[in-house]
Structure 1
Amino acid sequence: MNVFKKLRNDYVIWHANRVKFPNFRPSIIVRKKVVFSGKVQKVGFRLEIYSIAQRMKLTGWVKNLKDGSVEAELQGEEVKIDFLVNCMRSLKRASVKNMTIIDLPIREAEESFTIVK
């Protein structure tokens, strides 16, 4: 890994760990597919989603798409998913121009959140 990428990743993890969570009210468990487009690749976007999702105990995955967008499937309490999506939309080092959100069926056996290469 080159030096710039390591520095960026260290910064992204530091930033994601500083995000303050509100006191979430319990809400229903849902699964959503979210596609973020704009300047969302090469800025640590996937790593930020991964880090925050893990802190909130969400399951699912995130990956880059060939068209330059980032796709994620997020499963967990709806208020936590909404919070994460809003965090990513307001991220300063990225520029989310458009978002598509689709409700999906829950995957019962899923236990973790991963970055898909």
Structure 2
Amino acid sequence: MRKRLHIWVAGRVQGVFYRAHTVEIALSFKLTGWVRNLPDGRVEIVAEGEEQSLQKLLAWCRKGPPLAQVAGVESREEPATGEFEQFALRA
């Protein structure tokens, strides 16, 4: 059963290729959705897929890519909509 996870990541997560790495990781876990930078310095992620893959993505978000310094991760489950065909970077 597909699920949706909405994630916000705080810390030094902009300008460190966090979004690009998130796309690679999400695609490797066969997830769909998107990732974008927020004006307040956080990164926002919406991902849909199997529970186990979403949990792997969430665990990765807590570490991030090598240059990132993650200070906190918030997440919430939401109803999956199936609206995404792939995982993409949003402006």
**TM-score, normalised on structure 2?**
0.91
Output the amino acid matched with 1:96: V
Q: What percentage of aligned pairs have identical amino acids?
A: 33
Question: Runs of 5+ in structure 2 lacking a partner?
Answer: none
1:85 aligned residue (41, 58, 78):
58
List gaps (5 residues or longer) in structure 1: 1-27
1:114 aligns with 2:82: no
Native 8 Å contact 1:31 1:76 kept in 2: yes
Q: How does 1:61-76 map to 2 (within 5 A)?
A: 61-76=34-49
Q: Which has the higher contact order (CA 8 A, sep 6+)?
A: 2
Q: Secondary structure at the match of 1:83?
A: helix
4+ runs of 1 displaced by more than 3 Å? none
Max Rg structure: 1
Shift of 1:108: 2.2
- Asked if the contact 1:89/1:95 (under 8 Å) is kept, the reply is no
- Quote the RMSD (CA, aligned, Å): 1.2
Letter in 1 for 2:82: E
CA–CA distance in structure 2, aligned partners of residues 58 and 109 of structure 1: 12
CA deviation after TM superposition for structure 1 residue 110, in Å: 2.0
> Which string of whole-angstrom CA distances, capped at 9 and with x for unpartnered residues, describes residues 76-96 of structure 1?
011111111212312332111
**Greater strand percent: which structure?**
2
Higher helix fraction (1 or 2): 1
The AA in structure 1 aligned to 2:90 is V
- Please name the residue that 1:30 is paired with: 3
Question: What is the aligned length?
Answer: 90
CA offsets 1:39-87 (integer angstroms, 9 cap, x no match): 0000000000001111221000000000000000010011111111212
